Amino acid sequence: MKRVDCQHCTHFRAAPYEARKDGCYLQKNMPSKQKDMYLDEQQIAGDHRAINIRGDCPDFEARAVDVPWWRRLWSLGA
């Protein structure tokens, strides 16, 4: 079975740029979640280390690969 890493999952957010605290932001894994963006500080992220302790989390979704700006321009024909 392929091992998965939370750092490469779309549900993982890392502090300080993506979230206040590192963790799993998949709704079903969060002890406390808020619908509104302005209540974001009240959210409690899921403990990604405990959830994915064996590296086989079934909810893993790979992050989209960032395409460099020059390649986006290249694809537009600029």
CB of 2 to ligand SF4, least distance (A): 12
How many angstroms from the chain centroid is the CA of residue 66?
14
Task: Return the number of the residue (5 or 40) whose C-beta is nearest ligand SF4.
Answer: 5
Task: Return the number of the residue (3 or 71) whose C-beta is nearest ligand SF4.
Answer: 3
Whole-angstrom Cα distance, residue 16 to residue 4? 23
CA pseudo-torsion sign 37, 25, 72, 76? negative
Task: Return the number of the residue (9 or 68) whose C-beta is nearest ligand SF4.
Answer: 9
Q: What are phi and psi of 72, to 5 degrees?
A: -65, -40
The residues binding ligand SF4 (CB under 6 A) are 4, 6, 9, 11-12, 24, 26, 29, 48, 51-52, 57, 59-60
